[in-house]
Amino acid sequence: MICSPRCPIMSVPDAIAEIWRAYQVTLDCLEVALLEKKRGRIDSLQGTGFMDMPIDAVRRDIQTSRDVVNDHAILSMWTVFEREMVAVLESESRKMLDTSSSAFNQAVCRKVEAGIEYWRVSEMIDLIKPLLAIELIGYMKQIKRYRDWVAHKNPKKAPPAKVTPEFTYEVLVLALEQMGAVSQAIAG
């Protein structure tokens, strides 16, 4: 076979779940640190930057950290999702070879695999539209706009509608489930 699949390190739903779990643990740790500072439990704060900080500064730093963690969780989940879109598109192009291993299908497969890393994400989303509910596509585009704003922070552009890590997790996992189910149905 001319086209070969990429070797995943871990399954995509597991990778997104791992990001989600790390995000939740981080939020819990921030909450515990704030509670310990409020309660004056100095022994549990030994060796941390919170030890000598006034409670208002701790609150401010923890809120800033929550905002950063929220944005980084969204960035991380989107990155994993984007990789899976690439894998799905490559897989679907390889399926053409199962139908007919013509010179044309081989050329299309090679072209997809050679250039897909350079495609715009919006082009990939347009290609998977037939696999997903239209509302889900809209949510994905909303997450993508927010991800782009977080990643680039262009001060000349107003921030898009804010999305939460919870929303991002739910939408991307649902999209992955639908892409997998539809892709399996096409193969079967």
| Whether the Cβ atoms of residue 162 and residue 143 lie closer than 8 Å to each other | no
Q: Which residues of 59-73 are buried (b: 16+ CB within 10 A; e: fewer)?
A: eebbeeeeeebbbbb
Q: How far is CA 170 from CA 96, 105, 160, in A?
A: 31, 35, 19
How many domains, in total, are found in the chain? 1
Residue at 106 is within a domain:
yes
Which pTM was predicted?
0.82
For residue 164, what are its two tokens? 């939460």
Residues 6+ apart with CB under 8 A from 150: 71, 74, 75
Closest CA to 150 of 134, 136, 137, 161: 161
Residue 96 confidence (pLDDT) above 80: no
- Which pLDDT tens digit goes with each residue over 41-78? 878 878 888 888 899 999 999 999 999 999 999 999 99
pLDDT bracket for residue 5 (50, 70, 90)? very low
Residue at 5 is within a domain:
no
Residue at 3 is within a domain:
no
Closest CA to 116 of 126, 105, 127, 124: 124
> Domain range holding 47?
12-187
Residue at 7 is within a domain:
no
CA distance 186 to 128: 13
Q: Is the dihedral of CA 182, 83, 12, 105 positive or negative?
A: positive
Rounded mean pLDDT of the chain? 84
Residue at 131 is within a domain:
yes
